[in-house]
């Protein structure tokens, strides 16, 4: 017999887990290729908090976004990246999934940033809530 965990929305998870958030403008995103975000992009330094813990992440948005990112925006992106990391069998598998060349320094930098952020997100939320976010939460 299999059991299914009920799916909740990202907003419900944030409220239930009392996840806090603040975001301030930044000049750039250290994890991003500056050419990708050249024309009108906005960069942010976002702090996510829960149960006395905190995680700081850079976040960028394209020119079409005229408002600061929300906690839902940032968690959705982090969860998407983290699930890709968690489901990969390693760097080469991850590269194959996302179309990166395993011989690329840019791919390696991106991989390392995803790994760091995924580990930090897991520490912030705890293993059980991290899994709920990745696999049992309805995201955009």
**Range(s) of the domain holding residue 125:** 8-138
Structure-derived torsion over alpha carbons of residues 45, 117, 13, 135, reported in degrees to the nearest 10: 150
40 contact partners, CB below 8 Å, separation of at least 6: 62, 63
Q: Please, is 58 exposed, middle or buried when counting C-beta atoms within 10 Å of its C-beta (0-12, 13-18, 19+)? A: middle
Please state which of the ranges 16-25, 31-40, 76-85 shows the lowest mean pLDDT: 31-40
108 contact partners, CB below 8 Å, separation of at least 6: 91
Q: Report pLDDT for 67.
A: 93
pTM of the model: 0.89
Tell me the CA distances in angstroms from 51 to 3, 20, 108, one per residue in order: 29, 9, 32
For residue 29, name the pLDDT band (cuts at 50, 70, 90): confident
The two tokens of residue 38 are 């050249």
Our count of domains for the chain comes to 1
For residue 33, name the pLDDT band (cuts at 50, 70, 90): low
Residue 1 in this model has a pLDDT that exceeds 60: no
- Is residue 18 in some structural domain? yes
Could you read off the pLDDT of 102-132 as tens digits, one per residue? 999 989 999 999 999 999 999 999 999 999 9
Q: Report pLDDT for 2.
A: 41
Residue 3 in this model has a pLDDT that exceeds 50: no
Mean pLDDT of the chain: 90
- Is residue 1 in some structural domain? no
The two tokens of residue 36 are 């990708």
Arithmetic mean of pLDDT, 63-67: 89
| Contact in structure between 74 and 133 (CB atoms under 8 Å) | no
Please state which of the ranges 6-15, 37-46, 124-133 shows the lowest mean pLDDT: 37-46
> Which residue has better confidence, 63 or 124?
124
- Is residue 2 in some structural domain? no
- Is residue 126 in some structural domain? yes
- Is residue 51 in some structural domain? yes
d(CA 71, CA 89): 29
- Is residue 59 in some structural domain? yes
d(CA 116, CA 119): 5
| Contact in structure between 67 and 34 (CB atoms under 8 Å) | no
């Amino acid at each position: 017999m299999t059991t299914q965990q009920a799916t909740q929305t990202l907003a419900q998870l944030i409220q239930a887990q009392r996840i806090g958030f603040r975001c301030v403008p930044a000049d750039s995103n250290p994890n991003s290729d500056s050419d990708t975000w050249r024309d009108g992009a906005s960069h942010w330094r976002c702090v996510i908090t829960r149960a006395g813990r905190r995680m700081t992440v850079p976040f960028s948005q394209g020119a079409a976004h005229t408002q600061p990112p929300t906690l839902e925006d940032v968690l959705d992106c982090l969860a998407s990246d983290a699930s890709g990391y968690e489901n990969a069998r390693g760097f080469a598998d991850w590269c194959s999934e996302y179309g990166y060349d395993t011989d690329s320094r840019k791919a390696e930098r991106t991989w390392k940033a995803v790994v760091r952020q995924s580990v930090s997100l897991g520490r912030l939320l705890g293993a059980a809530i991290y899994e709920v976010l990745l696999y049992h939460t309805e995201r955009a």
